Structure 1
C-alpha cells in the first residue's frame, strides 16, 4: 500500500490506535448475498423509469462493462435474451450457484450456457419465476440505492468471487483467501468423512470447501439442531487472527446472531437463534444463517454459544463474545462512539439480497440504514465502506475473469479451470479453488472515494482482505492464500486531493441530502477497458 509513513491517531479513551498506512482508520465491510454484476448493473446508468423509484444519471457518468454497452440485451448467445425485472418482481426463484454449475455455465469462457446450467425458472407463488430467469436483471428503478452510491462514490466493473461456488467459499475467501484446510465432524464432534463438507481430502481428511456445510463451532448450526448434517472445521489462519495479533479492534456483526434462547451451561442447553423476519413478498425466514458466518468455522475466532459482549465498551475487543456479534451490537457501538477499526456487517437473511428469501428492496433498506448511520457519525471522516457480495447466485453475467488459479479435479472442474491448471498452476497443490469465478458488484463509499468513478482493475473478494492486511500492516495469511495475488482496491480511492461529498439516501434509494458537489475527482471521463 503506497504510503511514505503511517497515519497514527489518538483514541477517545486515551489509547493510541495502531498506525495505518492510509488515512482510513475505520473499514466497514458490508457483505451481501448472491448478485452478479449484470443482474444489478446491466443497463447502468440508464433506467427505464416506467415503475419504481425514478433514477436519472449525472452528466458524464462513465461507461461500465455491462450488457447494454456490450450489445447483449438482444441477440444474446444464451438460449434466452435478458429481460428487465421491475420492483413488483423483486422476490424471485433462487438460481443454481454451485461450484461446478457455474463453471459449466461459463462454457470455457464463452458465457453462453447459463440457461441450461444455472436457471431455476419456477418455484411457486409468491416468488416470481419465468423461462430463462437466470438471464434477467434489475435497473435503477429497483436497485436505486446502489446506483446512487455508484453515482457519488466509486464502483468496480471487474470484481469477482475469489473462487467459483456458493456462500461459504465466498465468506471464507473474504476473511482468509483460503477454502482449503477443512475437515468434517459429526454434530457430536467426532471426526468423520463427508463428501459434501470436504472435497479432494488428503490422507488426513483435510480438503477444500466448495459447498455450504454449516460450521462446527456454532450452537445454531444445522438450523438450531433440527438437522443432523456433518459440520465443517477450518484449520489455518484468518484475518481475525492477524488483527488480534496486532491489537487492532474488529468484529463480525450479523443479523439474528443474538440467541432467542441463550446458552445455559448449568442446564446443558445450547443457544437457539430463532429470530425470524418477513420479506416484501411475505416470505418468512430465520434471520441467522450459520454458513454465512465465516469466523465460526475457526476455533480461534468462534463464539460457539453466541455469548453477548460484556459491555458496549468491549465491542471490538476480546471478551466472551470473541469478536462475533449481533447486528444490534454494531448499532450500539456506533452510537456509543466505539466503532471498531474493522467491522464486517451481515444483514439478517431477509435483507441480505439472496433470491427467494430476500430481494433488492429489503436489501436496500438495510444498506441505506447502515450507511446513513455511519455517514452521520463522527467516524465518517476516517471511514471507508466496501459493499460486495459472497457469490453471484448463478445469475447471468457476460464477463469472465482472467483465471489466476486452476484446478483439475475431474469430479468438479470444467475446461475453464482445467486449462488454467495447465497454464497458471494449482496454488499450494490444493484442488477445487479455481478462480476468480463469477463477477459481482463492488462499491467503495467513503470521503476518500473517487466520485462517479468506475475502476476497471481486476479485483476479488480477497482484495478486501488484502486492503485490511496492508492498511494495518498485518502481514499475509500464507499457505497459498489468495491475498497474495488479489488486485488492489486503492484505484478507487484518493487520499491527497479533496474529499467526496456526504450523500444520504431515503429508504427508497433516492437522494435525501447532498453536502455538495465534491471536487470532481473521477469526473466520469473514464472509458470501459481493462488494466
Structure 2
C-alpha cells in the first residue's frame, strides 16, 4: 500500500510538471506548417540587434584558452601577432606561471597536443579545488589520474594546469582582436555540462524530476537530483539525459534515470511573445528508428581519428522541458517554418540553421551546438575541431544580409575542471553538507532557498562578435551564463523567468557593445588554421 501511494504521489508530481510545461507553451501552437516565414526584423527590440546567435561550446576555463592573451610564443602552430594597443586580460602572470600555488606550474600545450585527457568537473570537486578561494587544489581534485585508454590523447602529471595560446586557439584570439572579449565571466553554478546548459536557457537548476528511462515513471533518486523533496524533485548537479528525448539513454536501453524539469525557460518566454527561435544541434536529425524510438547515430572523427556520436542528449537543454521538446526529432515542416511553432517545436539539426540562413529566414534567437567532435570537450574533441565549426558558422553569418544586425555570442557550459586562477564571487550559497564546501556554505542562500545551486563557479571565456561589438576590447564587467539569457530577455521585452532564476542577479552584456553605430567589420577566418584570410 505504501509503495502504491508513493508511486501515485510521484506520478502526480510528474503530471504537474507536464501540465505546467504545457501551459507555458504558446496557446497558438500547431503541428501544421506556418503559412510564411516571419522576418526577425519585424520584432520590436530594445537595441539595434535583431538576431542573436549563441554558439555554446564545451568545457573550457578562461585561463585554458586566454591565460596568456594577447602574447603567443609563436614556437609552432599558426602565427599570432597582436595588434598594437591590444588590452591585457586578467590572465596568467609570470608569478602564476613560475611559482603557482598549485602542485604544478601551468605549461603551454602545443597544437600537436590539442587532443587531451578530460578533467574532473563535478559540482563538489570543483568547490574542493577552489579551496575556499585559494585556487590551489586543482591537481588533487579536478585532475584525472589517466586518460581513458585512447592512445591518441595527450596526458601528463599536472595536465589540469595547462593552457593553449594563440598558436592553437587562433580563431578565438582573432575574434578577440576584432571584437569584444570578457575576462570576468563565470559559470553560473559549479558543476558539469547539463547544469550549464540549463542555466543558459532558464537560470534555474532546481525543479528536476528523475524519471525511469524504460517505464517513464517518476522516481525519487538523490543520484539524479540532489536534495530531492518528498516527490523526488531536486536540483541538477550531474548530467542525466533529458526525459523528453527518444535518443536519451542510448534509446532508452541503458536503464539510467532521465530528468524532467518543471518551470519555464527562455523558449517559453519567446513563444509567448511570438518571437522566432530555435536550438540547433549537430546530429539531432535521426538516422533511423529502433523499438519505437528515433535513433541519433551520425558519427564523425576528430583530428586524431577518434569517432564519436554527433548528438549528445544531455547537451540539449530544451529537451528537459516538455513544453519545448521535440521527442521524436521531427524535422521542420518546411524551410520557412524554421523558428516558428510546428512539429519540430523549435528543436533542430545544425543543418536546418544553415539552410534557414541561406534562405534568409534565420530566426531572431538561435542557439548553435556543435556535433560532439567539434564542441571542444576534452577527451573526444579539441580546440582545432572546435574552431573549424565556429569559424565556418561565423563566416556564413557574416556573409549574409542578416549580419548587419546580428550579435554572435561565444559562451561555454562549464570549465571541465581546467585551472583558472580567479576566485569567483559566490552570489548564492548552499548549505548541503553532502555536496558543499566552505566556499558555498559560508554564503547565504538567496534564490528561492534551494540547495545545490552554489555560484558563481569557474571563470569561462565569453566573446561578442557583432557589427556593434566594441573593437579589440576587453570588458571586465562581472557576468555569468545568465547574462546571455538576460540580454535575450531584455532585447525582446520578454520579462524574467521567475522562480528563483539567476537572471535577476546577472549583469547585462552592454559593456561589450557600442550601439551608437556599427564599427566592427566582418573578419573571415580560415576554419582550419584560425588565421585571418579576408
Fold-level match, TM-score > 0.5? yes
Shift of 1:498: 4.2
* Aligned position for 2:172: 146
Decide which of 197, 200, 206 is 2:227's aligned counterpart.
200
Contact 1:168 1:294 in 2 (8 A): yes
Q: What is the CA deviation profile of residues 136-180 of structure 1, one whole-angstrom value per residue up to 9, with x for unaligned ones?
A: 000000000000000000000000110000000000000000000
Q: Does 1:416 pair with 2:439? A: yes
Shift of 1:426: 3.5
Unaligned runs of 5+ in 1: 1-10, 514-531
Q: Does 1:185 pair with 2:211? A: yes
Shift of 1:13: 5.9
SS at structure 1 position matched to 2:433: coil
SS at structure 1 position matched to 2:295: coil
**C-alpha distance in 1 between matches for 2:42 and 2:226:** 42
Following superposition of structure 1 onto structure 2, how do residues 105-120 of structure 1 map, counting pairs within 5 Å? 105-120=129-144
Shift of 1:427: 1.6
Q: Does 1:391 pair with 2:414? A: yes
**C-alpha distance in 2 between matches for 1:325 and 1:132:** 39
* Aligned position for 1:444: 464
SS at structure 2 position matched to 1:28: strand
Contact 1:122 1:128 in 2 (8 A): no
* Aligned position for 1:166: 192
* Aligned position for 1:28: 53
Shift of 1:270: 0.9
* Aligned position for 2:269: 242
Decide which of 240, 251, 258 is 2:285's aligned counterpart.
258
Decide which of 228, 251, 259 is 1:224's aligned counterpart.
251
* Aligned position for 1:3: none
**C-alpha distance in 2 between matches for 1:303 and 1:199:** 26
* Aligned position for 1:337: 360
**C-alpha distance in 1 between matches for 2:407 and 2:41:** 20
Go from structure 1 to structure 2 and tell me whether the alpha carbon gap of 1:378 and 1:183 turns closer, same or farther (over 3 Å shift).
same
**C-alpha distance in 1 between matches for 2:145 and 2:310:** 25
Decide which of 470, 474, 477 is 1:454's aligned counterpart.
474
Shift of 1:225: 2.9
Following superposition of structure 1 onto structure 2, how do residues 67-82 of structure 1 map, counting pairs within 5 Å? 67-68=92-93, 71-82=95-106
* Aligned position for 1:293: 316
**C-alpha distance in 1 between matches for 2:121 and 2:50:** 35
Decide which of 375, 380, 383 is 2:398's aligned counterpart.
375
Q: What is the CA deviation profile of residues 38-86 of structure 1, one whole-angstrom value per residue up to 9, with x for unaligned ones?
A: 0001111011111110000000100100013x63111000000001100
Decide which of 112, 118, 122 is 2:146's aligned counterpart.
122
Shift of 1:497: 3.9
Normalising by structure 2, we get a TM-score of 0.91
Following superposition of structure 1 onto structure 2, how do residues 352-371 of structure 1 map, counting pairs within 5 Å? 352-371=375-394
Contact 1:401 1:458 in 2 (8 A): no
Shift of 1:221: 0.2
Decide which of 239, 256, 263 is 1:212's aligned counterpart.
239
SS at structure 2 position matched to 1:233: strand
**C-alpha distance in 2 between matches for 1:237 and 1:419:** 30
Normalising by structure 1, we get a TM-score of 0.92
* Aligned position for 1:17: 42
Contact 1:121 1:132 in 2 (8 A): no
Shift of 1:224: 2.6
RMSD: 1.3
SS at structure 1 position matched to 2:366: strand
Unaligned runs of 5+ in 2: 1-35
